[in-house]
Amino acid sequence: MIRRYVYGNVIETEAVLNKPEQENGVLPYFTVDEQAMTLSYTMEDKDQVYGLGENVRGINKRGWYYESKCSDDPEHKEDRHSLYGAHNFLVVDGKETFGIFVDYPGIIRFDVGYTRSEELVITASDWNLDVYVITGENVKDIVKQFRHLVGRSYIAPKWAFGFGQSRWSYMDEDEVREVVRKHRELGIPLDSVYLDIDYMERYKDFTLNNETFPDFAVFNEEMKKEHIHLVPIIDAGVKQEEGYDVYEEGLEKGYFCKKEDGSPFVAAVWPGKALFPDMLNKEAREWFGNKYQFLLDQGVEGFWNDMNEPAIFYTEDRLKNVLEELDKFKGQNLDLDKYNEFNGLVRSLSNNTEDYKVFYHNMNGEKIRHDRVHNLFGYNMTRAAGEAFERLEPDKRILMYSRSSYIGMHRYGGIWQGDNKSWWSHILLNLKMMPSLNMCGFLYTGADLGGFGADTTEDLVLRWLELGIFTPLMRNHSAMGTRVQEAYRFEKIDGFRHIISMRYKLLPYLYSEYMKAVLRDEMMFRPLAFDYPEDRRAVKVEDQLLLGDGMMIAPVYEQNAEGRYVYLPERMKLVRFKEDGTKEEEILEKGDHYVEVALTDVIFFIRPDHLIPMAKGGQCVDEVDFDHPECIGFVENAAEYEYYNDNGYEKDYENPAHITVLRMEAEK
């Protein structure tokens, strides 16, 4: 059951399309303090709290405070409170089990037992909230109701389930060709190569660098013949430059965000001074969305939207002030205090909360200051694209994922988990975010495999790929200046080939589970707690996940490890695929096990009487035979699997012909 409570004058986010009638009574479970602008709930010791989508720390969010404040922060450390997304949905599970979604576009804080261990306190920045309280049979049921409330998740094209190679600094056609050639020569499967900001002419959206990509449409065609999709990045800021059509047009039509006095708000990002299209203005959104046509016309079928928190390096006004202030330091001997002051000034330049208070949106004719709707910007940039694709390419699925997001955006695209680092702890963070994101509707997601920032190592990339082969978005991406990390840069080529090929062998299962999860408003990745709520050990597991119907994954995420402990909440079959092509199976009883996992082993567990449909694999998704899946299973009696398969680019998702039931009997 979903009940809705409204406080103040709510700003419409369109996260929920068909809103239930609002209730008149008091908000259940919570104490409401209008003065303090808080909703408080007293937790029991054993209560667990799930949700909040993309954020730091555990699957169980208890013990920290989080803030929904879309932030461009590449330091995904435990002391952070926000990442790129704002996902205000959580479920309390324990004495009382219920979900709460606070549909609120401004900055909001969730203190989950941080200040007082038993208190869950939600504090908004102003008192205009649309609150949904959801009760149900169990956590899964509550999540399902919530997902139904916010609408069906985005569906990616099938090719986007292949492996993607990316790096910020593929400078020209030849570099891209080389990436493709290396993969093909070494037999490492590949479906896409990403184009970062360098493909553009001086970082201008919807332009191409004519020197480095002289005939993009022809090049794209050449890549398609190799079964490679080129996926360009689009940034939120539009370069301020006379004669640049996107800038000129947006300015003339008044589609950029403005300051109080009506002049355009100028902030620097990659291209230097730039303007932000007013993504919250319907007309501006339509206009910006139509710009994608430029690349669609060249044969592009996928994009990633970036810097849409929006990220700000500095604003014109602030830079001027800071430079004046810094002038005072000239010739000075900087002691600790002075040095800190100096540093503080320099740091105050980028992503400064104060700068989010000096520009405005035009939402249906109403002028709204940005900070009040900060968390809707990336969402609406991606919505601009998603809505445009529906108009421009109605019959085709276009790959789209974004860095910043808000619930509601999940209908238009997926997200990637932003600028992580080549750290072992970030493999685990990647894993932990999967179920939290699924709860909030983000199913097409994954992290920069191998790590974006910092120098990586071969073993780290291999271990990370052993998780990445299971995530819908599987992309190796790294930052300019860091150690190169394409598979072919390392020694253990056979290992890389084996692990990435396993992705292609598992695609029938992974795609089927993804599609069913989307179409049924379910989670593809679940904490063990959701399926084994009575098992106190299972409830506490934070480094294993259930994946779909019959699989449990438990990747290795520690340097130099030769295996790991795994907790089995019931008897399961361990399946191990080795680099030499052999497969080993072992039935393990409920309980704790130390499982050896060699550096290039791919392992997973199958639940009793469950099947995993697989294929022989291929060098690209086009080569994978989805039509004749071969099941492996753990069949004690009999097992059935509902197999979903479609052609992967059309949109007749509901066609019952896409589902077949696969069966296997136990060998007598």
Q: Which residues bind ligand GLC (CB under 6 A)?
A: 168, 196-197, 233, 306, 403, 418-419, 477
Q: Closest CB to ligand GLC among 158 and 291?
A: 291
Closest approach, Cβ 168 to ligand GLC, in A, equals 4
Burial class (CB within 10 angstroms; exposed 0-12, middle 13-18, buried 19+) of 357 = middle
Q: Crossing angle of helices 336-347/316-327, nearest 10°? A: 160
* One-letter amino acid of 526: R
Cα distances from 247 to residues 206, 251, 380, 539, in angstroms, run 11, 6, 19, 53
Closest approach, Cβ 209 to ligand GLC, in A, equals 14
The separation between CA 73 and the C-alpha centre of its own chain, rounded to angstroms, equals 15
For residue 354, the 8-state DSSP code is G
Q: Closest CB to ligand GLC among 196 and 646?
A: 196
Which residues, including other chains, have CB under 8 Å from residue 158's CB and lie 6 or more apart? Answer: 511, 621, 647, 648, 649
For residue 20, the 8-state DSSP code is P
Partner residues linked to 267 by β-bridges: 274, 315
Closest approach, Cβ 574 to ligand GLC, in A, equals 35
Closest approach, Cβ 549 to ligand GLC, in A, equals 33
Closest approach, Cβ 54 to ligand GLC, in A, equals 13
Partner residues linked to 551 by β-bridges: 547, 606
Q: Closest CB to ligand GLC among 109 and 403?
A: 403
Measure the CA–CA gap between 587 and 589, rounded to whole angstroms: 7
Q: Closest CB to ligand GLC among 72 and 371?
A: 72
Q: Closest CB to ligand GLC among 250 and 418?
A: 418
Q: Report yes or no: 500 and 188 within 8 Å, Cβ to Cβ.
A: yes
Closest approach, Cβ 438 to ligand GLC, in A, equals 22
Measure the CA–CA gap between 296 and 396, rounded to whole angstroms: 11
Of 74, 55, 56, 53, which is closest to residue 419 (Cα–Cα)?
74
SS3 label, residue 411: helix
Question: Residue ranges of the alpha helices (H) in 307-366?
Answer: 316-327, 336-347
Closest approach, Cβ 156 to ligand GLC, in A, equals 18
Closest approach, Cβ 235 to ligand GLC, in A, equals 7
Q: Closest CB to ligand GLC among 216 and 401?
A: 401
Residue identified by tokens 């803030």 is 67
Closest approach, Cβ 192 to ligand GLC, in A, equals 15
Partner residues linked to 258 by β-bridges: 264, 360
Cα distances from 438 to residues 64, 381, 465, 469, in angstroms, run 21, 21, 20, 17
Closest approach, Cβ 233 to ligand GLC, in A, equals 6
Number of neighbouring beta carbons within 10 Å of residue 29: 16
Closest approach, Cβ 236 to ligand GLC, in A, equals 11
For residue 264, the 8-state DSSP code is B
Measure the CA–CA gap between 649 and 156, rounded to whole angstroms: 8
The separation between CA 557 and the C-alpha centre of its own chain, rounded to angstroms, equals 20
Measure the CA–CA gap between 58 and 61, rounded to whole angstroms: 5
Q: Closest CB to ligand GLC among 291 and 475?
A: 475
Closest approach, Cβ 461 to ligand GLC, in A, equals 17
Query: DSSP string of 589-655?
Result: -SEEEEEE--TT-EEEEE-TTEEEEE----SSGGGS--SS-EEEEE-SSEEEEEEE---SSS--TT-
Closest approach, Cβ 229 to ligand GLC, in A, equals 17
SS3 label, residue 185: helix
Closest approach, Cβ 165 to ligand GLC, in A, equals 13
Q: Crossing angle of helices 493-519/458-468, nearest 10°? A: 30
Residue nearest to ligand GLC (CB): 168
Q: Closest CB to ligand GLC among 197 and 545?
A: 197
Measure the CA–CA gap between 137 and 149, rounded to whole angstroms: 17
Closest approach, Cβ 411 to ligand GLC, in A, equals 22
Q: Closest CB to ligand GLC among 203 and 532?
A: 203
Q: Closest CB to ligand GLC among 310 and 548?
A: 310
Q: Closest CB to ligand GLC among 418 and 435?
A: 418
* One-letter amino acid of 125: S
Q: Closest CB to ligand GLC among 438 and 482?
A: 482
For residue 501, the 8-state DSSP code is H
In degrees, to the nearest 5, what angle opens at C-alpha 143 toward C-alphas 142 and 148? 100
Q: Closest CB to ligand GLC among 13 and 305?
A: 305
Q: Closest CB to ligand GLC among 479 and 612?
A: 479
Burial class (CB within 10 angstroms; exposed 0-12, middle 13-18, buried 19+) of 655 = exposed
Q: Closest CB to ligand GLC among 302 and 508?
A: 302
Measure the CA–CA gap between 430 and 446, rounded to whole angstroms: 7
For residue 53, the 8-state DSSP code is S
Closest approach, Cβ 177 to ligand GLC, in A, equals 20
Closest approach, Cβ 363 to ligand GLC, in A, equals 27
Q: Closest CB to ligand GLC among 161 and 199?
A: 199
Query: DSSP string of 437-462?
Result: HHHTT--SEE-EET-SBS---HHHHH
Q: Closest CB to ligand GLC among 54 and 306?
A: 306
Give backbone dihedrals phi and psi of 658, rounded to 5 degrees, phi first.
Answer: -75, -10
